[in-house]
Amino acid sequence: MIPILSFGRTGHQSTRTIFGAAAFWETPQKDVDATMELVLQNGINHVDTAASYGQSERLLGDWIRRNGRPFFLATKTEERTKQAAYDSIRRSLERLHVDQVDMIQLHALHEEDEWQTAFGAGGVIEAVTQARAEGLTRFIGVTGHGVPVPEFHLRSLEQFDFDAVLLPYNHVMMQNPRYAKGFNKLSEVCRQKNVAMQTIKGITHSPWNNMEQTRTTWYRPLEEQADIDLAVHWILGNEQVFLNTAGDINILPRTLDAAHRFEKRPTEEQMNTLTERLKMEPLFV
């Protein structure tokens, strides 16, 4: 069984493996339907999408229109100003065929100029607070990528009482001293404030590095079940975090299989051996 954890202060008991619907970027609807059946069969009760994930909201929304919404539903807006973000949220609800989502997230907020706009007068913060007041969303989160993102999230939490954060997390990434220091500091702040910590890029092998792209992920993922097991079990070994699945429906069954069999965190020796054997590289430097 996939472990369950309170999703911060929201009151929702989320599966620690969250389905990342970026996998529905341009997926045929029949494959979306089959994937959602797999998601529910595995007990997943939390789905994460975004307005900028290609056709994801529309495809997921078609499934919701026909089947209802038996899960915690989160989406994102990349807009930084109030009106544009509010309009984006409204469009997301229409595409998803819902009157309310459980969480709206400020997507990829890790650039200084965009951060200043978001928190300034007429910024996206005003839009998401309005959306929450109107019942369009219940909770508000913030996401980001890259080495500086823990530092941006810490600043964001000083400015606004977010319910959740989302950022990269894997063993290779945590070998970067700056990133590890920021991530660990953010973890402590999230623990104190009861903020949910979602993690992405968990099964990253490396950038594609001019290789032929054989998966729908924008990074090269781990492929073999034993390797995915180690990566997934290492993440779940941190009892504070959630693992958002990678953006490829064909990798998903292996990730879910690994999550079901989680018992304990692999050792540093095991993870270092994996990194050396596969010549794994950090996605962000």
Which domains does the chain show, CATH number per domain?
4-278 (3.20.20.100)
In angstroms, the Cα distances linking 152 to 20, 110, 182, 191 are 22, 6, 9, 17
**So what's the pLDDT on residue 139?**
99
Average pLDDT of the residues of the chain:
98
Q: Give residue 58's pLDDT.
A: 98
Task: Kindly report, residue by residue over 3-32, the tens digit of the pLDDT.
Answer: 999 999 999 999 999 999 999 999 999 999
Picking from 117, 128, 73, 71, the residue whose alpha carbon sits closest to that of residue 96 is 73
Model pLDDT, residue 63? 98
Position 96 scores a pLDDT of 98
Give per-residue pLDDT as tens, 212-264. 999 999 999 999 999 999 999 999 999 999 999 999 999 999 999 999 999 99
The predicted structure's pLDDT at residue 118: 98
Residue ranges in the chain whose pLDDT is less than 70: none
